[in-house]
Structure 1
Amino acid sequence: MARLEYIRLPLERALVEEDVVHFVRQEVVDPRTRLRIPVTAERVPQLVWQRGEIWGEANIWLLRRARLLLGGQLKEETIGANGKDLLAYANWLEDAGKEWWQCPLQDDERPLNLYRGFLVSSSGAEVPDPNGQTGKTPRPGKLSPLLASRRMATVKAFYQWLIAEEILSPGFPLWSEQKVRIPYEDAFGFRRHVEAVQTSLDIKVRKRQSEDGLEEGLQPVSLEVRDAILDLAHRRCSIELFFMLSLGFWSGLRLGSICDLKIQTLENALAIQNCAALKHLSIGPQANPPVQMKLAQNSTGIVIPTRLLDDLMDYAVGLDRGKRVALAKPQHKHLLFLTKHGNPYGPQGSDRSPTVNGEMSRLKRLARGEGLNIDTFTFHWSRATFATMWAKVARNQGHLHEFLPTLKRMLAHKHDRTTWRYIRWAEREEVRAAVMDEFTQTMFGRFYTAVEEQDA
């Protein structure tokens, strides 16, 4: 099978001086140390065929995309996903005995069309009904429809580049195109349309996202489970995991923001008028220092308990963290959380952390040993717990609508409707609890009362 290898690529810009091309390494200024540090793509994927030869054309395309990191047009995580998508295509080509450059006149003989058919049959993507109707018939399979659609889109983008660079010149279109108008709802609830181009290679995936569900499929946990998780993490896991979970449960921060927190972010915390127990943090790419947030959102309304802030400041100057700082690179020393090897917990621009995932797996094993079942719990559920608890308290105090803008700033949401999902969730949970309590009293109350009277 084909395989991926990764290279470390210093990012450079080409300058022409007196008809001579010079490549100049790009540097950025560290906001804390004021040192100039080079910009480097740490993991750029490169493809190698099973027979040991490199796939030069694909590798050049990935390198070209890596250079888009300089302008902020792409994230390194996206380029990594592109490499995995092309790896899947390369493995299919080898298994099918096809070559990527083959362009037969017959549509059903072209590798692109055959690969699309393979993806559709291997996923639950929607395909035309066998009877020729306009409806769609889902087919179960191993791949998720979204993954199949993404892989096809990556391969199509690669071929578009091949044609644009005249590396591939089939002499006829490899796919058909048509313009469509896609409806969407703007931030104010008005229905708009945007024009787009659909091709015959696209794999359509019907989105079935309930407006009643929380963002990213999050689920809150009860306060009892929250306290049990934090207690277990404090007793038997690393202090870093305990503090990260505390920030998730008590501040609602995503993992990517937590991994990118700087000590200066905590030092710049602002007091909240008439609320000594909480303080405000400034988070986002425009904060000083910048801290990554999803969709490049900015918020000065992130809350942190004063006690947790004090504990984190003590940890920041403690001996344990000092040992990690000694191993860290200059551009990482100002991060609040560092691994035992002095590395950041997560890649820049990502909400994922393999190190935290490993610690979460260990936390779940320890929980099972203590009779606590948190197998389905994920780190991001801490954010849902934070948000729903605030919504419940605001509702109980009768200030739900007035509190909505504040909760939106706390969660750094782009749209009001995303924040409203947490409020509707809290309302439904309140109704559910009341109905279940009334049902229990109605169905079993009289019976157990009679039994108790007989026993007495």
Structure 2
Amino acid sequence: MAMLERVSITPMALDTDKGSQEVSWVPVSRSKPVPKVPHIFFDDGEPWLAANAYALHKLDSVVGNDIKTVASNMSHLKAYACWLEDHGVDWRHFPKRKKDRCLFQYRGFLIEQRKAGLVSSSTATSRMGAIIQFYRWAQVYGWVDRKSMWEDQSKTIQFYTSVGFSRTMSVTSSELAIPNRRRVGAALEDGLTPLTDENRAALLTFLFERGKVELYLMTMIGFFTGARSETIRTLRLSSIDNALDDPTIPSMKRIAVGPGTGVETKYDVSGALLFPAELVRQLERYAYSARRLGRQARASEEDRTLLFLSERGNAYSETSFTKLISYLREKLAEAGLDQFRDFKFHQTRATFGTQLMRLAMSALPSQVDAIVFVRDAMLHKDEATTWKYVKFIEKEPVKEALSDEFFNLYVGKVGNVETLIDKVTFNDDA
């Protein structure tokens, strides 16, 4: 089976000063080492040279690409490499008949996997798209010499501008592309929908009663600030200690995130997240509780300032957090809460965005003001993403009223908030 390994790359150049009798390579002085670049190796140990060169090209020459984006693309190519090995097919196998070509065979395989429920619709779409993108690059840079591997077609798509106007544009699509069979109805970021008030309460109650304190607080932050998982996992003690009162909303505080704060954000966006003051108070209690200090004592020097640590004192990585959410889904299903079988943590963000947009649209003088407010609160890269929340609220048959818990936190009332967050104890590792 093909493997995906991380390799640190130091750019080298041939040293011609030593004469033609001796071959010597030296580091390129103007180039910095590139750490942990994903590389694919086949089962016999041979590297997939074209795919590995593609990873370096993506990092070096595509503006905005970071190691996470490249790693995601390479994980799709690694799955394709495993299929090639299992079927004994070369990645440049393009006979005359389309159905015999490797890409067409793999497309059929992915569709069967999707039908069987072994991969999600979005994964099948993304995987095929990543592979097509790789082959387009390989053709341009001479790794494959066949001119016509598939047929392209022009399609017209509709999109919304940052202020909500509908526009259309023509794009080139491959006949190999796998459409994402999305659910009926509107969806928000990453194709997800918010949880209902009842399901949100059920999830928080489950975590509270099972004593899953860290995950409970992380989920609370997701529901009431809209922070992404990578931001929540990298919150620091200083983040809480340095929280500032919001000058316009007395019941809210602002916590700085992004470059320079030690807290990660998508696309390295700098900004400040809105935190209900009541939630910050609860996080302060947890930060210096016996439960967390015990975890901190087991942590490495660089991780001790993290707000959330595992029972063994480790930072929550993307991998470990994904496993934690997968484990949570299993436990929710065992408890008879089948509505959470497909739960994604990012739904906490979608839930927050929907509630905040409703609040903004009811309190601010215009829809444009509401979009700008929500955009800044959620650190969206552009307003087109924020606009989806407006369209969702307009199209979905959901109740217009804000949930009591959300409203109470944002206007500084107590009400049911005590039930949600004030009864948590931090004395032991439950």
| TM > 0.5 | yes
The residue identity in structure 2 corresponding to 1:311 is: Q
The residue identity in structure 2 corresponding to 1:406 is: F
How far residue 244 of structure 1 moved from its aligned partner, in angstroms, is 0.5
Query: Which SS does the other structure have where 2:399 is aligned?
Result: helix
Residue 99 of structure 1: which of 90, 108, 124 is its match? 90
The residue identity in structure 2 corresponding to 1:239 is: V
CA deviation string 1:120-142 (max 9, x = no partner)? 56657xxxxxxxxxxxxxxx986
CA deviation string 1:26-53 (max 9, x = no partner)? 98xxxxxxxxxx97438x353433xx45
Distance in 1 between residues matched to 2:12 and 2:185, nearest whole Å: 48
Q: Residues 225-264 of structure 1: matches in 2 within 5 Å?
A: 226-264=200-238
Contact 2:6 2:39 (8 Å CA) reproduced: no
The residue that corresponds to 1:313 in the other structure is 284
Distance in 2 between residues matched to 1:319 and 1:312, nearest whole Å: 13
Distance verdict in 2 for CA 1:141–1:418, change over 3 Å: closer
Q: Residues 252-331 of structure 1: matches in 2 within 5 Å?
A: 252-273=226-247, 275-285=249-259, 288-289=260-261, 291-294=263-266, 297-300=269-272, 302-329=273-300, 331=302
Greater CA drift, 271-280 or 85-94: 85-94
The residue identity in structure 2 corresponding to 1:266 is: I
The residue identity in structure 2 corresponding to 1:184 is: F
Distance in 1 between residues matched to 2:307 and 2:74, nearest whole Å: 31
Distance in 2 between residues matched to 1:66 and 1:206, nearest whole Å: 25
CA deviation string 1:151-189 (max 9, x = no partner)? 33333344445445544445x543445666655332133
The residue that corresponds to 1:344 in the other structure is 315
The residue that corresponds to 2:8 in the other structure is 10
Distance in 2 between residues matched to 1:373 and 1:90, nearest whole Å: 34
How far residue 251 of structure 1 moved from its aligned partner, in angstroms, is 1.8
2:17 equivalent to 1:22: no
CA deviation string 1:58-83 (max 9, x = no partner)? 56346536855997513436524533
Query: Which SS does the other structure have where 2:253 is aligned?
Result: strand
Distance in 1 between residues matched to 2:244 and 2:279, nearest whole Å: 14
The residue identity in structure 1 corresponding to 2:161 is: D
The residue identity in structure 2 corresponding to 1:185 is: Y
The residue that corresponds to 1:357 in the other structure is 325
| CA RMSD, Structure 1 to Structure 2 (Å) | 4.4
Distance verdict in 2 for CA 1:297–1:193, change over 3 Å: farther
Residue 41 of structure 1: which of 26, 36, 40 is its match? 36
The residue that corresponds to 2:20 in the other structure is none
Query: Which SS does the other structure have where 1:184 is aligned?
Result: strand
The residue identity in structure 2 corresponding to 1:257 is: T
Query: Which SS does the other structure have where 1:292 is aligned?
Result: coil
How far residue 22 of structure 1 moved from its aligned partner, in angstroms, is 0.8
2:387 equivalent to 1:406: no
How far residue 194 of structure 1 moved from its aligned partner, in angstroms, is 4.9
TM-score (norm 1): 0.67
Distance in 2 between residues matched to 1:9 and 1:55, nearest whole Å: 12
2:192 equivalent to 1:221: no
Contact 2:150 2:174 (8 Å CA) reproduced: yes
How far residue 316 of structure 1 moved from its aligned partner, in angstroms, is 3.0
Residue 154 of structure 1: which of 114, 121, 130 is its match? 130
Contact 1:266 1:313 (8 Å CA) reproduced: yes
Distance in 2 between residues matched to 1:244 and 1:180, nearest whole Å: 42
Query: Which SS does the other structure have where 1:353 is aligned?
Result: helix
Distance verdict in 2 for CA 1:146–1:403, change over 3 Å: closer
The residue identity in structure 2 corresponding to 1:48 is: F
CA deviation string 1:320-348 (max 9, x = no partner)? 4345445545554433222234433233x
2:423 equivalent to 1:429: no
Distance in 2 between residues matched to 1:235 and 1:119, nearest whole Å: 40
Distance verdict in 2 for CA 1:115–1:6, change over 3 Å: closer
Structure 2: runs of 5+ lacking an equivalent: 18-24, 402-430
2:60 equivalent to 1:56: no
Query: Which SS does the other structure have where 2:127 is aligned?
Result: helix
Distance in 2 between residues matched to 1:87 and 1:428, nearest whole Å: 39
The residue that corresponds to 2:422 in the other structure is none
2:349 equivalent to 1:383: yes
Distance in 2 between residues matched to 1:397 and 1:186, nearest whole Å: 24
Identity %: 22
Distance in 1 between residues matched to 2:4 and 2:179, nearest whole Å: 31
More strand per residue = 1
